């Protein structure tokens, strides 16, 4: 079963606007990660947030984690056309990812020029 579920399934915004995607999960985690996938390509790791962290930044990306609500959000600020992609959250139960990450179904983000 899917551990993480992203919301919304699809999102279309104008270039320059901010994009927010959410992820909910079911069981306790060691860390949560966000990945980007361009159409027909492999996934690219964006950011990792550990269970004892509440917020993390990387460039135009801001990730929050609320372990009490079992949810995370990914904010992309000042969006660009190149941000058009699918975004996946992945939960790591054991830490180190050694037993495999569990991925959600993703949010498909379209940035309109």
Partner 1 sequence: DGGITQSPKYLFRKEGQNVTLSCEQNLNHDAMYWYRQDPGQGLRLIYYSQIVNDFQKGDIAEGYSVSREKKESFPLTVTSAQKNPTAFYLCASSTLDRGYYGYTFGSGTRLTVV
Residues at the interface with partner 1 (CB under 8 A): 2, 4, 33, 35, 40-45, 48, 88, 95-106
Alpha-carbon Rg for the chain in angstroms:
13
Give min distance, CB of 67 to partner 1, in A: 19
Q: Closest approach of Cβ 42 to partner 1, in Å?
A: 4
In this complex, which beta carbon is closest to partner 1, that of residue 40 or of residue 113?
Answer: 40
Task: Give 100's contacts (C-beta < 8 A, 6+ positions apart).
Answer: none
User: Which residue, 54, 86, 45, is CA-closest to 72?
Assistant: 54
Q: How far is the CB of 101 from partner 1 (least distance, A)?
A: 7
């Amino acid at each position: 079963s899917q551990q993480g579920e992203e919301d919304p399934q699809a999102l279309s915004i104008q270039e320059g606007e901010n994009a927010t995607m959410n992820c909910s999960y079911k069981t306790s985690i060691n860390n949560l990660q966000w990945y980007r996938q361009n159409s027909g390509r492999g996934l690219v790791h964006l950011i990792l947030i550990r269970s004892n962290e509440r917020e993390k930044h990387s460039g135009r990306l801001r990730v929050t984690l609320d372990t009490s609500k079992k949810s995370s959000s990914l904010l992309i600020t000042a969006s660009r056309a190149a941000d058009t992609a699918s975004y996946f959250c992945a939960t790591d139960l054991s830490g180190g990812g050694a037993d495999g990450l569990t991925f959600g179904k993703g949010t498909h983000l379209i940035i309109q020029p």
